[in-house]
């Protein structure tokens, strides 16, 4: 007996939290957060869509945190900070190129000085050249590892000594860490390595009570997600719930891990993918 096809109405899941209109609940009151990768790429037709970094920064501010928005794109980081300020919260910007090793420690110092403290850190930086194995070059491999992985290690290395006891760190990985079907091995390897790095940072921070976890988004409707969909129009046709996720849904998982609600969650990876990685796609 065959199972009848069941169509899913994506609107069922369009809660206020999913679209970024829910009010804050003071979950980050008094906290001092640095979001690395708080800007986003300008994509035609996606100006009003929040990328993961922007959504994380804005939600943290709504929840009561001071936020430093760091990005290589000063204008985009400034726009994120401006949106936070327009909602009545505190935000500053910081321009940084994490591909330059020394910039990572400078960034941590500058954020600490700007806020007077640092007790929350989100690393949301990543690039992809989209090269399959046969077309990878050493230069592309090294650049993706420098930005997607080395910068995370250096930022955590610099942050742990200055972060307050009981602080929290979140690395933004990807479902690509588990799947080779994107034919993008450099990116996939860096994202898999981020999960291992999160565990190593968690171990290093134990004595200070500093937690480190990873959030791994699946198919998310961000400006970069729109570009990916343009290149692969069918990529989102079989996702659970009949839709892609939103940057706000990634942000809520991240804020939970940063908050004291997650005080006994450490060295874990949360996949924000609607179940896609578990094989329950439509």
Q: Which pair of tokens denotes residue 238?
A: 């079989």
**CA distances, 230 to each of 44, 56, 224, 227 (Å):** 11, 25, 10, 5
Cα 22–66–13 angle (5° rounding)?
A: 20
Q: Residue 2 — very low, low, confident or very high, per pLDDT cuts 50/70/90?
A: very low
247-258 vs 52-62: helix crossing angle, rounded to 10: 50
187 annotated active-site: yes
Hey, CA dihedral for 103, 126, 122, 203, is it positive or negative?
negative
What's the chain's Rg over C-alpha atoms?
18
Collect all residues with Cβ–Cβ distance below 8 Å to 238 and sequence separation of at least 6. Answer: 281, 282
pLDDT above 50: residue 13 = yes
- What integer best gives the mean pLDDT of the chain? 92
| Count of CB atoms situated within 10 Å of the CB of 90 | 16
The reported pLDDT for the residue numbered 182 is 83
Find the range with the poorest average confidence among 23-32, 104-113, 172-181. Answer: 172-181
Q: Residue 14 — very low, low, confident or very high, per pLDDT cuts 50/70/90?
A: confident
What percent of the chain stands above pLDDT 70?
91
Q: Which of 6-15, 148-157, 220-229 has the highest mean pLDDT?
A: 148-157
The reported pLDDT for the residue numbered 279 is 83
Average pLDDT for 201-229: 90
Closest CA to 15 of 273, 241, 260, 223: 241
The reported pLDDT for the residue numbered 47 is 66
Q: Which CATH superfamily is domain 28-271 in?
A: NAD(P)-binding Rossmann-like Domain (3.40.50.720)
Domain residue extents for the chain: 28-271
Per-residue pLDDT tens over the stretch 113-158: 999 999 999 999 999 898 999 999 999 999 999 999 999 999 999 9
The reported pLDDT for the residue numbered 224 is 72
pLDDT above 60: residue 35 = yes
Per-residue pLDDT tens over the stretch 153-211: 999 999 999 999 999 999 999 999 998 888 899 999 999 999 999 999 999 999 999 99
Cα 200–174–249 angle (5° rounding)?
A: 110
Q: Residue 44 — very low, low, confident or very high, per pLDDT cuts 50/70/90?
A: low
Among residues 176, 187, 216, 245, the one annotated as catalytic is 187
């Amino acid at each position: 007996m065959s199972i009848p096809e069941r169509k899913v109405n994506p609107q069922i899941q369009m809660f206020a939290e999913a679209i970024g209109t829910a009010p804050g609940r003071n979950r980050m009151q008094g906290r001092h957060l640095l979001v690395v990768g708080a800007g986003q790429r300008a994509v035609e037709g996606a100006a009003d869509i929040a990328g993961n970094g922007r959504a994380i920064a804005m939600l943290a501010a709504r929840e009561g945190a001071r936020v430093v928005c760091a990005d290589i794109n000063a204008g985009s980081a400034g726009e994120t900070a401006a949106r936070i300020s327009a909602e009545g919260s505190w935000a500053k910007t910081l321009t940084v190129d994490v591909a330059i090793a020394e910039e990572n420690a400078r960034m941590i110092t500058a954020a600490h000085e700007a806020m007077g403290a640092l007790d929350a850190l989100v690393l949301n930086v990543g690039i992809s050249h989209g090269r399959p194995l046969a077309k990878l070059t050493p230069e592309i491999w090294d650049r993706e590892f420098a930005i997607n992985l080395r910068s995370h290690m250096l930022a955590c290395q610099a942050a742990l000594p200055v972060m307050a006891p009981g602080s929290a760190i979140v690395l933004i990985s990807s479902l690509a860490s588990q799947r080779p079907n994107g034919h993008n091995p450099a990116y996939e390897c860096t994202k898999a390595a981020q999960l291992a790095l999160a565990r190593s940072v968690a171990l290093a921070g134990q004595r200070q009570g500093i937690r480190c976890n990873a959030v791994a988004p699946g198919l998310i409707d961000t400006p970069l997600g729109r570009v990916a969909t343009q290149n692969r129009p069918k990529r989102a046709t079989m996702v659970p719930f009949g839709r892609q996720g939103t940057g706000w849904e990634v942000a809520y998982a991240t804020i939970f891990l940063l908050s004291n609600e997650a005080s006994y969650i450490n060295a874990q990876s949360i996949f924000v993918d609607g179940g896609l990685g578990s094989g329950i796609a439509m």
